Amino acid sequence: MPVIEARDVHFKYAETPVLKKFSFVSKDNEILGIIGPNGSGKTTLLKIIDGICKPQRGSVLLNQNDLNKMTRTEIARKIAFVPQDAAMVFSFTVEEVVMMGRSPHISRFRFESKKDADITRKAMKQTKIEQFAGRSINELSGGERQRVFIARALAQEPRIMLLDESAAFLDINHQISFFELLRMLNREEGVTVMVVTHDINMASLYCDRVMLLKDGMMYGIGTPHQVITKKNIEEVYGTEVLIDSHPIEGLPRMTLLSRRLSD
């Protein structure tokens, strides 16, 4: 059964079209990487799937239910969204921020329970931020903050995680840890993951399928071998690349060619 299904989705901001004739089906318990140039509609697609933006035409189904007919709480119990950069106006502690992920599961007139606290601590442990628990979120670096927001998403106990360039501020070590965490959540806990990334090689290594966007339309979707090809990448990104195989994993590996080499 498809987890997410988009049917002929059209979306525009004011008079600017962002997504056009967009249809796709996500598979249950997969990691789907979303790649494409800036302005191709990647972030907007995630916002539509999370119900933040509503398409002017078409529909999105979550477990065969129309997303437009679901409440924010109902959606938040199924989907967690980690934006590229989330600002915090107040100086909450890290533990308080992660605990906010429990909000969809806490009724209006109930305080946090031991279960909520345990889930919060587990999320902090999974993202390796326990040492920051009592510190203000505003005291952390960009990469540390991003790990806090990932932990907050984990505390929601979602069945689907949407991540918009969530590894952008992380160093190489934490980028690998980030994708390993996504793989663990997917393989061991059955979480369906949709991750927007500009790192095509990370998408190749860690994603079961890759979706390639161009100018608000689906250019291709399939396995890394099917999508990350020299022809596809050069046509969509407008730059020359070398595509060979990863020496250990055998998956597609992209190398940018300098203008000197390509002339």
pTM: 0.91
Q: How many helices (H) and strands (E) does the chain have?
A: 10, 12
When mean pLDDT is compared across 46-50, 80-84, 111-115, 207-211, the lowest value belongs to: 111-115
* SS3 category, 12: strand
Q: Are 194 and 29 in contact (CB under 8 A)?
A: no
pLDDT tens readout for residues 95-127: 999 999 999 988 766 777 899 999 999 999 988
Using an 8 Å Cβ cutoff, are 153 and 82 in contact? yes
**Band of pLDDT at residue 1, cut at 50, 70 and 90:** low
Between CA 145 and CA 75 the distance in angstroms is 24
Q: What is the pLDDT of residues 206-223, one digit of tens each?
A: 999 999 999 999 999 999
* Pair 97, 91: CB distance under 8 Å: no
